[in-house]
Amino acid sequence: MTNFLQKYGWSSNPFTLVINPKHFTGYEDQIKALKDHIENRHKIAILLGPTGSGKTMTLRWLEDNLRENVLYISKPPKSAEQFIDIFIDLLPLTFWQKIFNKRPSLYTLPKYINTKLKGNQLIFLLDEAHETSKDVLEWLRVLVDQIDNVSLIMAGMPMLEQKLKTDLETLDQRVTTRIRLTNLNQAETFDLIMKRIASVGGEGIKPFTEAAIEKIYHKTGGFPRQILKECDKLISLGKDIIDASDIDEFREFSQPNVRLDQPIVSFSPKPPSEDQLNSLPYKQRKILEILSKRDWLSPSAIAQELDMSKYGSRGHAVRSVNNILRRLMLEGYVLREAKGKAFVYTLTPKIKTYFVEQ
């Protein structure tokens, strides 16, 4: 790999999964909607998208490009009390508050924040919000209600929206902006690859051909993380020119000395159409819907989401799910990879895009 990087004058591998806001590409409509939300001082927005669609990159881009007080949290705290330290880090105690131990409590925190902000706006960015507990989300609602100038943007998997509707109706009613990240288009995929190569001193799209990038786009469905993973595997071939013929549909290149948990993926030469998807039997469609909300699930985890009473026992349910997953994999609906001694499954990019757009 080192020789290959030197060959093209790259200082490092441009396709590692590193979050750098300077590489942000696409999603112009979504960014405009987020900016409008902030400029209008609306309270709560949710940013939804499947794994690898660019939610974290979007939040980090906002963090880098906003002039107001910005608080970015990569993982939600396990308890509401942890927010006290988080806000004190952003809005530090004065010398006298430290001397007299005047730390805010959970109940006085809104007043503390309002005093520190002095009328300025606070942009609060919470990533992985689908992992937030019900209690913490409920406290966030109260906090946002009581802070005068705060805009909270919560990013998470599509399941976040259903979680709010089902368990936190009062919070869901306060959401004024709902934004979905789907996938990049072909031109944006080209731009992403070119930006990445330029960031390490490369020229244009070399060693990729335009035909290769077009095929990368169709294979990955335009999901940024999948694009980077595919490019990373392709450059490991060490070829002077990487063309469309080097890219297999829904297949990941085998590499020496990989761990057992590296992807072992099946592929379909022709992805299913939307009509085929809509005509699937109920159980197959139900499993795809489960995978559209959570990536890389085991057959056992999927079985737990189904009505077990229809199967007689948990063992029967898991075996039935296994059989359905194999069929879906062979027909191009899902991908699988090894995790230890078991397999986990996710939707293929094209099917994932279909569910995101629903």
- pLDDT tens for 10-42 read 999 999 988 888 899 999 999 999 999 999 999
Residue 275, SS3? helix
What digits encode the pLDDT tens for the residues 278-305? 788 888 988 998 888 887 899 999 998 8
Question: What is the per-residue pLDDT for 356?
Answer: 66
CA separation for the pair 19, 287 (Å, rounded): 31
Q: Tell me how far CA of residue 79 lies from CA of 137, 139, 150, 156, in angstroms.
A: 10, 9, 20, 18
What are the structural domains of the chain? 2-14+184-246 (1.10.8), 27-180 (3.40.50.300), 274-356 (1.10.10.10)
What are the pLDDT digits (tens) for 196-240? 999 999 999 999 999 999 999 988 888 898 899 899 989 988 888
3-class state of residue 156 by DSSP: strand
The per-residue pLDDT for 116 is 93
Helix axis angle, 282-293 to 349-356, nearest 10°:
80
Q: Which residues pair with 230 in a beta bridge?
A: none
What is the C-alpha separation between 347 and 101, in angstroms, rounded? 52
Number of alpha carbons in the 13 Å side-chain half-sphere of residue 7: 12
What's the chain's Rg over C-alpha atoms?
23
Residue 2 binned pLDDT confidence (cut-offs 50, 70, 90): low
The pLDDT, as a whole number, for residue 358 is 57
Q: What is the pLDDT of residue 263?
A: 39
DSSP strand pairing (69-73 vs 44-48) = unpaired
pLDDT tens profile 54-83: 999 999 999 999 877 899 999 999 999 999
pLDDT tens-digit readout, 174-207: 999 999 988 899 999 999 999 999 999 999 999 9
The pLDDT of residue 339 is above 90: no
Mean pLDDT of the chain: 86
- For the segment 147-166, the average pLDDT, to the nearest whole number, is 92
Provide the token pair at 309: 């009473």
Judge contact between 37 and 153, C-beta under 8 A: yes
The pLDDT, as a whole number, for residue 267 is 41
| Dihedral Cα 292, 297, 300, 301, nearest 10 deg | -60
Confidence of residue 101 (pLDDT cuts 50, 70, 90): confident
